[in-house]
Structure 1
Amino acid sequence: MDEVAPGQTTSTDAPASAGETLRAAREAQGLSLADIVARTRIPTRHLEAIEIGDYGSLPSSTYAVGFAKGYARAVGADEVAIAAQVRDDVGRMSRAAHYVPYETADPSRVPSRGIAIVGLGIALAVVILAALWFGTGLFRGGPATNEPVIADSGMTAPAAAPPVAPPAPTPTGGQVILAATDEVWLRVYDADNKTLYIGTMKPGERFDVPAGARDPMINVGRPDKLQVTLNGAAMPPLGTGERPIKDVRVSGEAVSARLAGATAGAVQTTQPVPAASGVAIGNAGAAAD
C-alpha cells in the first residue's frame, strides 16, 4: 500500500467547509455556542445553521456572509477567507427578495397589444371631444366664443371660499432612533458601506443613528419588529415581516419624507357650498384616514 507523505492529503480528502472551520476553532478554544452568541449577539439557530452549512434557513445570502464574518471574528478565524467560502456556497442558492418585493405579471391577465392600442385610441378621442366641447362650444349648437358669460343681475355671485390652512410642516432633520419591539437582527451602515451597528436587538433596545452619518441605511430581518422614529414622531412600519428588507435610508431627511407622505392626506378641510334662495348649506370634508 502506498504511503502518504506527512503534510499531504489524499485525493479523497475534501477541504473543510466554512461551518466546519468555525466549529473547529470554537471547540479548540473551549467555547460553546452560547459564548459565541454572547460575543456576536447572533441568534443560536443562525450560528447552528452556519456550522452545518444550512444557508437556506438564513434570511438571505447577505446575512449568511455577515453572520459568518461575525462568527469568525469571535473565534479569531480569517473572516475574509470565511466570507469568500460562504459566498461560494450560497452562490448556487436562490437569493432572497430585496426592499420592494414584486410579483411577476400573469400573462393571462395582461391585455393583448391590439386591445391596448384600441383602448388608447378611444381614450385619446374622448379627450379631444371633451376639449372641443368645453373649449369651443362646437357641439352645443352655437358659435364658439371666448367671452365670459355675464350673470343675471338678479343673481348674486357666491362668496369665495376661505383659504384652507396648509398642514403643519414636518421636521426635515433631527434624531432618528431605531427601537426593537421584539428580537430583530439589524445592520446600520453609511454610504461608504461602513458598518455603524450590526447584531440582534432585544425587545426594548434602541440605536440612535449618528446625526453626522452620510446617508445611513439599514438591513433588517423582521421590519415589523423595528420602530423608526424622528424626534419622537413614529414612522409607519417598514414591512409586514414576511421577508427581510435591505438598503432602507434612515437619515433625518429620508424619515421626514416618509412621515410627510403618511400624513399628507390627514388635513381636514371645510368648504361652503352656495345655497339657492338665500339658504346657506355647509359641506364639511372628512379627514382622510
Structure 2
Amino acid sequence: MTEDVHPESGAIGASAAQPTTPGATLRAAREAQGLSLSDIATRTRIAQRQLDAIERDDYPALPGIPYAVGFARAYARAVGLDEVAIAADVRRAVSESDLGATRYEAFEPLDPARVPPRKLAWVVAIVVVLLVAGYTVWRTQLLTPPTGEQIAQRDAQPASARPAGPPPVAPAAQPVVFTAVDDVWLRIYDEAGERLKDGLMKKGERFTLPPAAKNPMILTGRPQALAVTVGGKPIPPLGEADRTIADVPVSAEALLARGASRATTIDPPPAAPARRAAPRRASPSPVSTDSAAPTVAPAPVPEPATPAAAETRP
C-alpha cells in the first residue's frame, strides 16, 4: 500500500508524465524521436513560431480555428501520430476556450506541406504577366494597319524581294475524275490491293478518286472509253483503243506527269523544201563591126547549152 501511494513510485510517475493536451502530446512525440522544432518546420513548411504556439496550446496566437486544426494535423502526421484524433482534440480545446466563440470559421486550410512555396508562386505570377503582355503587344501589332511610309517601302521593293503569293495547289490536292464516255468495265485499286472502284461504269457515270488513296492504279480493257481529268484539266488517253492496260498509275502526280511527257514527245512539223537555184544563162559572144580586120572576141568558158543560148549563137 505504501508503494502505491508513494509520490516517487514508477506508476504514479508514469501517470503524471502522460500528456493531457494536444500540444503536449505533439511535443512529447517530437522529443521522443529526437527532433527539434526546426525539423518539424522543415517537414511541414509551417513557421516555427506557429508550431511553438501549437505545442503550448496557445491557439489565440494562430490566425484562426481552421489554421490551428490544419497545423496540428500536419504536425501529427510529421511525428507519426493519429492526425484525426489530434484534430479532434484541438477542436475540443478551442471550443472550450474563448477563441471558439469569437473566431469561428467554416473552412480548414489545405495541408501546408502540399502548398507550393511562395517563390514558386511569384515565379508563376511573373510568367503569367509576361505572357499576357506579349500577347497584348502581338495582338496590337496584328490589328494596327500599316502606315503610309511602310506601304511606300514595300512598293519600292523589287518583285523578287516581295513575299510570294499563295503557293500553287499541290497535285495531290487536285481531284482526279473518271468519266465513262461509253460503257466500260474497270478496276481501280491501291498499292495494298484494296479495290477503290470495281465493276461496270455506265455511259456518263463519274467516279472521283479518293484523295487519301496511296499509289492508285487501274485495270481496264477499253481505256478509250474513259475521260480522265485532274483538277478539271483533261489527261491524254491511258492506253491504245481496245488494248488491256494494267497497273497504270492514276494518281494526280502520275497523270500530270503523263500529260507533260506526251506534250514534249510530239514530232515537230516537217521543214519546207529548199528552193532550187535557177540556171545561169550564157551571154552571146561579141562580134566586131570593123570590116578590115574582123576579129572575134575570146569565147567564154563553155557552159551547159540551153535553148536560149543556142538561139543566140551565130
TM-score bracket relative to the smaller structure:
0.3 to 0.5
The TM-score, its normalising length taken from structure 1, stands at 0.35
The TM-score, its normalising length taken from structure 2, stands at 0.32
> Greater helix percent: which structure?
2
Whose relative contact order is higher, 1 or 2, with alpha carbons under 8 Å and at least 6 apart?
1
Rg larger in structure:
2
